Amino acid sequence: MVPREKFVDPGFEEFAYEDAPLSIGEGQTISQPYIVALMIEKADLDAGDKVLEVGTGSGYASALISRIARHVYSIERHERLAVQARERFEKLGYRNIDVRVGDGSKGWAKAAPFDAIIVSAGAPEVPAALKEQLDLGGRLVIPVGRGEEQRLKRIMRTGATTFEEEDLGGVFFVPLIGEDAWTAAHPMYTAAAPSSRPEETPYKLIAAVAEEFPSADDRSFAALFDRFGESRIVLLGESTHGTAEFYEARAAISRHLIEHHGFNMVAVEADWPDAAAVDRWINGQPSKGDPPFSRFPRWMWRNLEFSRFLGWLKRDNERRKALHADPVRFYGLDLYNMSGSIRSVLDYLENVSPETAEIARERYGCLSPWQSDPATYGRAVLTDAYRSCEAAVLKQCTELLARSLDDTASDGHDFLNAAQSARLLAAAERYYRIMYYGGSQAWNLRDTYMADTVEHLLDFHGPTAKIIIWAHNSHIGDARYTDMAAARDELNLGQLCRQRFDGMTSLIGLGTHSGEVIAANDWDGQAEKKQVNPSLPQSYERLCHDSGKPRFLLDLAADEELHASLVEQRLQRFIGVIYRPETERLSHYMSTSLSRQYDAFLWFDETRALSPLMAPESGTSDPETFPFGL
């Protein structure tokens, strides 16, 4: 028996077994027992079934279903209700229920197909995604109708595109809010759950909570980040790899955290050997090997904005040395020499088969989790020539990697470099094999190594070590609350840092509405200054833009109402080293839950492009001014 009194709000226990709906907050209700029983009966559940419930609410229906079916997947739009339901399931020992916050009208594609789907909210029409996620013979029970004319429907899938429908009678449910259902402006919601600030839509809430600043150069800007000073790991993101304001802001934040909060490491989304050369330079050691960051995408780290920060690090380390204090160290989290390895693959394939080289170039362009250019995947059927190159490519990549790591082997950090090199070489063949064919495994292996590297660095430097990480939003925003996890089974660095260093990690995303960016059209292409399209109306960026504030920090934990309003899945833009404005919606947006993905969000409404620096000719670098001619 499922104790219904455990699923109602305090004070309502005496009414728990009345055959009537009860309010549970957020404009939602726990359905009357009769209706719950009717829907479960009409779903025709079996002990081996996998069931999707849309509208977790209190969790009561999920709990009942879990006592009959093998596993229940439940989606709730309101984070508070989802959290409460999880807590109830935990206390009652119901282990076969998974709950997520999201758009129920889209179903749960990752877990599909389902033997049954039960929807506990009324839709204007049956969402196509829910029908598509039914298994053959699967049953969907859902209230459908406009206004007060809702009918309870039972829909059974009889074939790939065929369904049978049965009308079970009139009902009245709260509206299903989602992209394929009602909008959040449904009058029943606004009447049932007035906001304490009813006139404030999400963009108005953003405007009310936003902490404005005049520029990243202003002293007041960096002080905004004192609230993250007690963290051991602070991850600073960017929504493009080519925006000047993002680099300038991260530099200002990093300087402040180093000077005032004891951070002693900076790690970036860059190759380990390249970063090791920079670490030598900021610590006054001679350069050796090839100039760092001399391969595609050069502008990502070889730019004026970043070089100014490195110049500050060098001067600060000179000051520390005079005081006999430990220096700030600089590291790269990408142990794989990824860009060099890709270049090696492309060079080899160009000589063997230009056609397969073009396929490889397009696949590498889609290693980023937000890239989904249909043309690329249409050409991704690998040829025999492509497969025949695999062994030679793997050999070439691992040899290249070994040479790159040898160049870092004697710079005063011998043990750390040797240990990291050994870790990488032990897994090199697996990594390059995965990278060669693309897919989520390549992304997951890469970000897992990044997280492992962070952990190794903190262990190596001791319990007082604190690290600042510069990486793209797709790496630092918790993947569990994005399409990366929901649609592609991907994880990322921010997620892993939260999981491994619970309570000691701060994730800060950065975004923009429009302006200019440095990016290429294709992998290994020429850097171009491109105009950034204005953000899409359905996006989080448009909410920030509509706030009317040009620059601000949004502390996503500072205001409970704001946090709740930004839980809903919306589009978010991701531009990496490739920007394709002509296919922007497909190539550069994915759905996310902003307030769960980050701890804070830093906004620049209009931005300008980075200022790339020319790579020096081989053998002409000056040890005194290396690496960027400062």
pLDDT at site 385 = 47
Domain hosting 62: range is 4-192
379 three-state secondary structure: coil
421 within domain boundaries: no
Domain endpoint, select from 164, 192, 220: 192
Q: Is the peptide bond before 354 cis (omega within 30 degrees of 0)?
A: no
- Tell me which H or E stretch contains 103: none
78 and 215 in a single domain? The answer is no
Cα 236 to Cα 59: distance, rounded to the nearest angstrom = 36
What's the pLDDT tens digit per position in 530-561?
Answer: 999 999 988 999 999 999 999 999 999 988 88
DSSP strand pairing (114-119 vs 134-144): parallel
Cα 171 to Cα 151: distance, rounded to the nearest angstrom = 6
Active-site annotation holds for 31 = yes
pLDDT at site 261 = 98
Query: In angstroms, how far is the first alpha carbon of the chain from the final one?
Result: 73
- The list of the chain residues with pLDDT below 70 reads 11-16, 18-23, 25-27, 147-149, 184-200, 288-289, 335-349, 352-353, 355-357, 359-440, 486-488, 614-630
Q: Any idea what the CATH number is for the domain that residue 518 is in? A: 3.40.1660.10
pLDDT at site 56 = 93
Alpha helices for 407-439 (secondary structure H): 414-437
- Tell me which H or E stretch contains 119: strand 114-119
Cα 39 to Cα 61: distance, rounded to the nearest angstrom = 10
Other beta carbons within 10 angstroms of residue 516's beta carbon come to: 18
Contact in structure between 222 and 248 (CB atoms under 8 Å): no
255 φ/ψ angles, rounded to the nearest 5 degrees: -60, -45
Domain endpoint, select from 192, 219, 251: 192
22 and 151 in a single domain? The answer is yes
359 φ/ψ angles, rounded to the nearest 5 degrees: -60, -45
587 and 482 in a single domain? The answer is yes
16 within domain boundaries: yes
For the chain, how big is the Rg over CA atoms in Å? 27
Cα 487 to Cα 202: distance, rounded to the nearest angstrom = 26
pLDDT at site 175 = 85
Q: Which residues contact 45 (CB under 8 A, 6 or more apart)?
A: 51, 65, 68, 69, 115, 116
Token digits for 292? 């760092």
98 and 225 in a single domain? The answer is no
pLDDT at site 94 = 95
Contact in structure between 342 and 577 (CB atoms under 8 Å): no
pLDDT at site 287 = 75
Of 40, 52, 48, 46, which Cα lies nearest the Cα of 134?
52
478 within domain boundaries: yes
Contact in structure between 166 and 154 (CB atoms under 8 Å): yes
304 and 269 in a single domain? The answer is yes
Q: DSSP string covering 283-339, please?
A: TTPPP-SSPTT-SSSGGGTSBHHHHHHHHHHHHHHHHHHHTTPPPPEEEEEETT-HH
- Tell me which H or E stretch contains 40: helix 33-42
Token digits for 18? 């009345």
pLDDT at site 395 = 58
What's the pLDDT tens digit per position in 513-532?
Answer: 999 999 998 877 899 999 99
Cα 129 to Cα 123: distance, rounded to the nearest angstrom = 13
502 and 550 in a single domain? The answer is yes
291 and 174 in a single domain? The answer is no
361 within domain boundaries: no
CA 576 to chain centre: 13
Q: Give the chain's domain count.
A: 2
544 within domain boundaries: yes
384 within domain boundaries: no
140 and 266 in a single domain? The answer is no
560 within domain boundaries: yes
417 within domain boundaries: no
pLDDT at site 193 = 37
Contact in structure between 358 and 311 (CB atoms under 8 Å): no
229 and 287 in a single domain? The answer is yes
Q: Which residues contact 463 (CB under 8 A, 6 or more apart)?
A: none
Q: Any idea what the CATH number is for the domain that residue 69 is in? A: 3.40.50.150
335 φ/ψ angles, rounded to the nearest 5 degrees: -75, -10
101 and 155 in a single domain? The answer is yes
pLDDT at site 443 = 82
Query: Which is catalytic among the residues 23, 31, 535, 621?
Result: 31
Token digits for 72? 């229940």
What's the pLDDT tens digit per position in 378-420?
Answer: 333 344 544 545 555 555 555 555 555 555 544 545 556 655 5
Alpha helices for 95-193 (secondary structure H): 128-132, 187-192
451 and 551 in a single domain? The answer is yes
603 and 466 in a single domain? The answer is yes
Domain endpoint, select from 192, 216, 235: 192
